[in-house]
Structure 1
């Protein structure tokens, strides 16, 4: 029971009960309810933010977060493995493939350019695990960029390889007359005695002595640039442009089997041995030109002769004798 309060009435010389107004009672009651509600709300908020009070939804979210952290950890391990594989490919690309094709290696800065922007991952900030998500995302981006650069590099290597194959096919690499059809190598590259004037002068090719009508073979892939007899001294002759600075000349032919503008492959028959033009006997005069300079054809017979045959031909070709043209 609540205490009854009195007051002294001096006029009537008596004690009287203090009566509380109903509105005041109601105000006190509402104030009590408001204070109770506020206290309850604050207590609820405090409990929600303590580890001692978890709802089923909170426990589910916590498990999902732990699961995501585990997945990110596994993902980072896989990224480590992929980075190791990518690094090995990059190493071979720079030190083997590009070295072989005489191409400059790709620098690390070029492979990883554009990956260090400060604002690149701004949308991932402000979360409990932002650093983990940002770091993993950045590592994936760096790996993706490296793979894209490497893919482009390998495409370039493929093109270089195709060009290399074309180069190897274009280089004059065989004898224009087969050994079994040769009588002898009459004269090689260098200063020789002219058969008509007997003066010593530069002989810019090699003379292969063979019977008239012996097949002559293209020594590399190319296009026939000339097949006529308008050049002084060469008689019927063929010029093949191989590309990459290479050009070959075949002179004193008896007849042609190739025409101007025709594409030929190494080993194709392009004509036959003869003695047209300024020639003393049936033979093929053969020249190799590199970047508009005459070079020794002896250096280009590695495609169809053995080391022993090369030594024998070299000895014959280097003898200072009389040429046949």
Structure 2
């Protein structure tokens, strides 16, 4: 991040948990800022703040490209390395988070992210109404991961169409890196489409899933450099570094992992190598589209599903625009975001 352009950042020590609760609001130009609540281990709170600033800016872009009337925000709680929360500590922490969000007078709403669940959102909802992705049985939109996976599948179809002229994924060679909540669901969808799958995860127990899907298991250290049509990052971000770019052997990269680029310059390096990169905030927007359409904007699940399928057209248009203008898809997406926010 080259400059500070956030509207508001709050850092508050939770009176119950004693832990730093960070809420970064990047933009409310299009509407209420939204972003996940990440409870994760960091070396110190400065690292957590950097994470919050980066991801909240990405959420602004994700909402803008998806056509949502929302801006970007983020909640991050920095857990000391090695700390594990028991049930009482977790509830205290979530109530601390809720109180910070409530103090912002509706400028920001939060949902689940790394380290939190829809059930946690219900606990936050005890003390603020500015929360989404609560369990369906409690009136919420539920787990967003199936919808993120569905949106990524739509983005992959558009990528395949750009590469080979047809959107069918049957026979397409893909490497899915990360088999968490979204990655596993996406891998299952791709297997059902007849894709030639390679999968990887730091959890060796996930090899069982590879066997179930008839996919090749790849060691995590080698997953990014497989000879495939499309690389699908589906774990944590920052994996596309200047050092890894010369070793890549894929034609394109399209996946749901947030903040895949270690630095913005990596997008140009990928372009120079002729590797197509679909911005993560475009490919991974399905979960946000579903949750906000259903829970914050009062739409139906069918309306949300239709909007998620539109990600294929969004990516197709983005790639066509970039190719026509001779620019990277990252630059084309950024110009689209800037145009929407300014108008």
Q: Which has the higher strand share?
A: 1
TM-score (norm 2): 0.20
Structure label with greater radius of gyration: 1
Task: Normalising by structure 1, report the TM-score.
Answer: 0.21
